[in-house]
Amino acid sequence: MAAARAGPAELGFVEAAPAWRLRSEQFPSKLYAPLPDRADAFHRGLFLFCCRAPPCCAGLRVFRNQLPRKNDFYSYEPPSEDPPPETGESVCLQLKSGAHLCRVCGCLGPKTCSRCHEAHYCSKEHQTLDWRFGHKQACTQSDYLDRTVPDHSFLFPEFEIVIETEDEITPEVVEKENESEIIGSMGEAPEEELDSMAKHESKEDKIFQKFKTKIALEPEQVLRYGRGIAPIWISGENIPQEKDIPYCPCGAKRTFEFQVMPQLLNHLKADRLGRSVDWGVLAVFTCAESCRLGIGYTEEFVWKQDITNTP
The answer to whether the peptide bond before residue 34 is cis (omega within 30 degrees of 0) is no
Please give the mean pLDDT across all residues of the chain: 77
* pTM score of the predicted model: 0.74
pLDDT digits (tens, 9 = 90+) for 261-283: 999 888 877 665 455 678 899 99
Return the pLDDT at 186. 43
Banded model confidence at residue 184, pLDDT cuts 50, 70, 90: very low
What whole-number distance in Å separates Cα of residue 43 and Cα of residue 74?
9
- Nearest C-alpha neighbor of 155 from the set 21, 268, 279, 302: 268
Q: What is the pLDDT of residue 30?
A: 79
Domain ranges of the chain: 10-24+156-167+197-305, 92-147
305, 234 in Cβ contact below 8 A? yes
Query: In this prediction, what percent of the chain has a pLDDT beyond 70?
Result: 67
- Map residue 261 onto helix, strand or coil: coil
Mean pLDDT of 52-64: 71
For residue 133, report the phi and psi dihedrals to the nearest 5 degrees: -100, 25
